[in-house]
Amino acid sequence: MQRKTFLKAMAAASVLSVTTAVWAQNPIEVQFYYPVAVGGPITKTIDGYAAEFNKAYPQYKIVPIYAGTYQETIVKALTAHKSGKAPATSVLLSTDMFTLIDEDAIAPIDDFIKTEEDKAWLKGFYPAFMANSQTGGKTWGVPFQRSTVVMYYNKDAFKEAGLDPNKAPQNWAELKEAAHKLTKKDANGNVMQYGIQIPSTGFAYWMLQTFTTPNDVLLANEAGTQVTLDNPKVIEALEYWVNLAKEGVHPKGVVEWGTTPKDFMEKKAAIIVTTTGNLTNIKNNAKFDFGVAQIAGNIRKGSPTGGGNFYIFKNAPKEQQEAAFKFAQWITQPERAAHWSMDSGYVAVSPAAYNTPTLKKYGEDFPAALVARDQLPVSVAEFSTHENQRVTKTLNDAIQAALNGTKTPAQAMKDAQREADRILRSYR
């Protein structure tokens, strides 16, 4: 009897060995479009995850394709979809959800949920991140590299300006006062260090939300069919931003998204407002002591969430879709999400990740890593609508017109409201 059992075990092991060898020779190749939108060695980290997954699941071969910015990546992904060669999966902005649904490009994540374990995994993400991942009773994206917007501030500059280096500005009045004290000029009156810098290319609408959220106003409804750009509170929020530049404590005109962390590290700006996704880059490269704080409040505290979700493209072969789901599930497990947060600076996407010994210790040693997470209870969904690229461009252009001084904030927002209403008319 023992001999028969032994022979059966040997036969099973032999079959598994042969199957594994076949998988290794003929794995299912899965294209994974990934946007490179923030600084730091992110691509090496993603390559490492893909290699680790491929080793654990030799029947699959995840192939990361670095497709440029978020905007470039969605264009490439949708072009591939329309030509019948969609990638199995891509990390795209959570705000791209409505666009991807409108293009009939993605499969609901619910289609892949089979077991109780799957259900528990899907329920495990922070609710704030699911606001941009679900609509119409379905889940369309899986939170991955998610964020809130935070303030980074130079503690040395604060000390020099007579400000408390351990206390960031808590409200709009304190922020403006600090920005004035932190602005440094040379003998000829040229600004050497701005008190505050907020980027306005690429994600101007998102930065505007760092003022509209504290001013207790949302830019769009949950269904993505209506915007409120000409609301007096929205206009007031944009005026506050424009006035920082008028008063000389913020660079005039449009500020580049990509150069803002660099300007901070080169001491050209004492406070910057940007994604927590830049945290690890700044931590590794800033040559001075810096702090991280929640967005300054006004009527309330709060920030928009941000960042990217995994989406699964419905026209990819079924086995590739299954592999993409398995990869998304694997990479968002608590321990891996904890390491990803440390490697990238993004917020770990589940409370379970913050309960791992790894992230608990990291948070104790580097409390700045917990600021974005602690902001989640007062965070709102990132601005997203149907026809999202067109509506967002309309809003971005309006914000830039106000910052450039070609339109008043009130006129810029009224014009943007009119155009957005026109674009969204068919969805209401």
**161 and 255, same structural domain?**
yes
Render pLDDT for 195-239 as a digit per residue (tens, 0 to 9).
999 999 989 999 999 999 999 999 999 999 999 999 999 999 999
Stated pTM of the model: 0.86
Q: Are both 136 and 178 inside the same structural domain? A: no
Between these two residues, 318 and 69, which has the higher pLDDT value? Answer: 318
Cα–Cα separations (whole angstroms), residue 123 to 110, 120, 346, 357, 420: 11, 5, 20, 22, 34
The answer to whether residue 371 sits within a structural domain is yes
CATH number of the domain to which 353 belongs: 3.40.190.10
Give tens-digit pLDDT for 243-291.
Answer: 999 999 999 999 999 899 999 999 999 999 999 989 988 999 999 999 9
Is residue 36 located within the same domain as residue 182?
A: no
- Domain membership of residue 358 (yes or no) is yes
Q: How high is the pLDDT of residue 2? A: 53
Handedness of CA 246, 227, 131, 115 (dihedral sign): negative
pLDDT tens by residue, 319-331: 999 999 999 999 9
Beta-sheet pairing, 28-34 with 89-93? parallel
Alpha helices in 183-231 (DSSP H): 204-212
Residue 40 has pLDDT above 60, yes or no: no
Q: What is the dihedral of CA 71, 75, 78, 84, to 10 degrees?
A: -150
112 contacts 312 by C-beta, under 8 angstroms: yes
Domain count, the chain: 2
Q: What are phi and psi of 308, to 5 degrees?
A: -115, 150
Residues 249 and 298 placed together within one structural domain of the fold:
yes
155 and 231 housed in the same domain: yes
Q: Express each pLDDT in 353-375 by its tens digit.
A: 999 999 999 999 999 999 999 99
**pLDDT at residue 19 tops 50:** no
Q: Could you tell me which residues come within 8 angstroms of residue 23 by beta carbon, excluding any fewer than 6 positions away?
A: 58, 59
Whether 67 maps to a domain, the answer reads yes
pLDDT above 90: percentage of residues in the chain: 88
**Residues 281, 204: one domain?**
yes
Q: Are residues 224 and 271 in the same domain?
A: yes
Residue 22 lies in a domain: no
Whether residues 156 and 300 share a domain: the answer is yes
* Residues pairing with 138 in the sheet: 135
Q: Which residue, chain included where needed, has tokens 């050209």?
A: 268
Pair 188, 269 in one domain: yes
Do 83 and 142 belong together in one domain? yes
**Three-class SS state of 315:** coil
Q: Which of 201, 224, 208 is nearest to 140 (CA)?
A: 224
Question: Is residue 17 over pLDDT 80?
Answer: no
Mean pLDDT computed over 153-181: 98
- The whole-number average pLDDT for the span 89-116 is 97
Full residue range of the structural domain in which residue 207 is found? 148-304+382-424
Cα(348)–Cα(99) distance, rounded to whole angstroms? 25
Q: With contact defined as beta carbons under 8 Å apart, do 60 and 54 qualify? A: yes
Does some domain include residue 20? Answer: no
Name 76's Cβ contacts closer than 8 Å, sequence gap at least 6. Answer: 33, 67, 68
CA pair distance 91, 97, nearest whole angstrom: 11
**Do 112 and 169 have their domain in common?**
no
Residue 93 belongs to some domain of the structure: yes
pLDDT of residue 43: 87
Asked whether residue 186 is domain-assigned, the answer is yes
Retrieve residue 125's tokens.
């993400």
Q: Is residue 12 part of a domain?
A: no
207 and 286 belong to one structural domain: yes
